[in-house]
């Protein structure tokens, strides 16, 4: 055996120990949506996707889950979801009362689907609904509290925001690379907001390239992908500010480790994949391109090729999270 063949053997053996997501779902007796949700919730450990290849599941992980007491019912119960009608029945309340509880954030959706009218239908973990009912029985019967009525009358609806928050928290918990973490924060901002925080067009292009791919749980239909792209964007002023601040902090950490690739850089560096890329998340707004330089036309009018020194610190100072240093605007 040659040295080259011997070096390749561990990679081949590792690949042979894994199965595809579809095969893993069959062996775990889960529907594909249940399987994707289990991966997203961390109930099933998936190998990171590399080079655009869908993540795979180790045979050892499948055997571990199959050996658990009560399999497969226990695993299915953990990913059992309910819409508004079923959730209201489980809690013993009307659909209107259930919707009100969800809008003010008492229960948070974990996923969504589209009905035949292409309207968003929020879905909730049954385990979380039952836990809420046991924890807050007073909110399920009698007259709604005054605070709840005030929030609903004001048009409060935190369902999309709570869905975004728990989704991003899950993905950030898996992302080790600082640029990938910054990309996840950036995914909640529209292009205008993003350009205001990240003035450098090369950095914006790099954020788009290193954003963890939605290898699992990606909506299959065009309408689903459009809904996902729409729901991903923060739409409340407080939430937008929170994401801007978090993006600024993540960017400063990322820049301290390495800069975004730009013309004339090391070709190997330009082809480098993000460290710690993991499955989960939504379809990226821009394709992941290796080795391509960002188009200068993507730059915001008036922006400069390099990031303005201290821009992140100045943003934090403007929102009152730090005192400005002399000379900052």
Residues in contact with 112: Cβ distance below 8 Å, sequence separation at least 6, in sequence order: 120, 121, 122, 123, 163, 227, 231
- Asked, for residue 141, whether it belongs to a domain, the answer is yes
- Asked, for residue 325, whether it belongs to a domain, the answer is no
Q: Is the same domain home to 128 and 277?
A: no
Q: Is the same domain home to 261 and 306?
A: yes
Of the three residues 157, 182, 214, the one that is the final residue of a domain is 157
Host domain of residue 109: 81-157
- Return d(Cα 180, Cα 210) in angstroms, integer: 6
Global model pTM greater than 0.95: no
Domain count for the chain: 3
Q: Is the same domain home to 89 and 168?
A: no
Alpha-carbon dihedral sign for residues 171, 173, 177, 183: positive
- Return d(Cα 167, Cα 214) in angstroms, integer: 12
- Asked, for residue 129, whether it belongs to a domain, the answer is yes
- Of 73, 69, 163, 168, whose CA–CA distance to 124 is shortest? 163
Q: Is the same domain home to 220 and 258?
A: yes
**Predicted local distance difference test score (pLDDT) of residue 279:** 35
Q: Is the same domain home to 142 and 23?
A: no
- Asked, for residue 20, whether it belongs to a domain, the answer is yes
Q: Is the same domain home to 260 and 135?
A: no
Residue 63 sits at the vertex; the CA angle it makes with 62 and 64, to the nearest 5 degrees, is: 90
Q: Is the same domain home to 196 and 145?
A: no
Share of the chain above pLDDT 90, in %: 58
Of the three residues 109, 124, 157, the one that is the final residue of a domain is 157
Of the three residues 157, 175, 197, the one that is the final residue of a domain is 157
Q: Is the same domain home to 223 and 152?
A: no
**Predicted local distance difference test score (pLDDT) of residue 70:** 94
**Predicted local distance difference test score (pLDDT) of residue 219:** 58
Q: Is the same domain home to 192 and 133?
A: no
Q: Is the same domain home to 176 and 296?
A: yes
- Of 85, 39, 47, whose CA–CA distance to 65 is shortest? 39
**Predicted local distance difference test score (pLDDT) of residue 270:** 42
- Of 70, 234, 261, whose CA–CA distance to 168 is shortest? 234
Query: pLDDT (tens digit, 9 = 90+) per residue, 51-75?
Result: 555 678 999 999 999 999 999 999 9
**Predicted local distance difference test score (pLDDT) of residue 80:** 97
Residues in contact with 265: Cβ distance below 8 Å, sequence separation at least 6, in sequence order: none
The 10 Å Cβ neighbour count of residue 198 is: 26
Q: Is the same domain home to 176 and 307?
A: yes
**Which of the residues in the chain have pLDDT under 50?**
1-12, 14, 215, 267-307, 309, 323-329
Q: Is the same domain home to 166 and 220?
A: yes
- Asked, for residue 329, whether it belongs to a domain, the answer is no
């Amino acid at each position: 055996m040659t040295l080259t063949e011997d070096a390749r053997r561990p990679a081949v053996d590792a690949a042979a120990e894994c199965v595809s997501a579809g095969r893993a779902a069959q062996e775990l007796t889960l529907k594909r949506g249940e399987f994707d949700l289990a991966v997203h919730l961390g109930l099933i450990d998936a190998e990171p996707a590399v080079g655009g290849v869908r993540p795979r599941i180790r045979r050892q992980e499948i055997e571990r889950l199959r050996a658990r007491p009560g399999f497969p019912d226990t695993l299915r119960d953990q990913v059992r979801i309910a819409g508004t009608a079923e959730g209201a029945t489980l809690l013993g309340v009307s659909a209107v009362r259930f919707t009100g509880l969800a809008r003010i954030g008492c229960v948070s959706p974990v996923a969504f689907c589209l009905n035949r009218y292409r309207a968003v239908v929020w879905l909730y973990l049954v385990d979380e609904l039952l836990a809420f009912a046991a924890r807050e029985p007073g909110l399920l019967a009698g007259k709604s509290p005054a605070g709840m009525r005030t929030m609903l009358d004001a048009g409060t609806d935190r369902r999309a925001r709570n869905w975004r928050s728990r989704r991003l928290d899950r993905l950030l918990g898996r992302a080790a690379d600082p640029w990938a973490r910054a990309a996840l924060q950036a995914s909640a901002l529209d292009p205008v907001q993003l350009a205001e925080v990240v003035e450098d067009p090369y950095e914006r292009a790099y954020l788009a390239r290193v954003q963890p791919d939605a290898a699992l749980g990606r909506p299959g239909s065009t309408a689903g992908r459009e809904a996902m792209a729409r729901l991903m964007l923060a739409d409340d002023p407080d939430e937008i500010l929170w994401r801007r601040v978090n993006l600024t902090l993540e960017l400063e950490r990322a820049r301290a480790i390495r800069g975004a690739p730009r013309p004339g850089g090391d070709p190997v560096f330009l082809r480098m994949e993000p460290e710690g890329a993991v499955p989960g998340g939504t379809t990226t707004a821009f394709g992941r391109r290796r080795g391509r330089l960002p188009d200068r036309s993507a730059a915001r009018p008036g922006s400069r090729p390099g990031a303005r020194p201290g821009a992140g610190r100045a943003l934090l100072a403007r929102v009152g999270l730090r005192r400005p240093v002399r000379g900052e605007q």
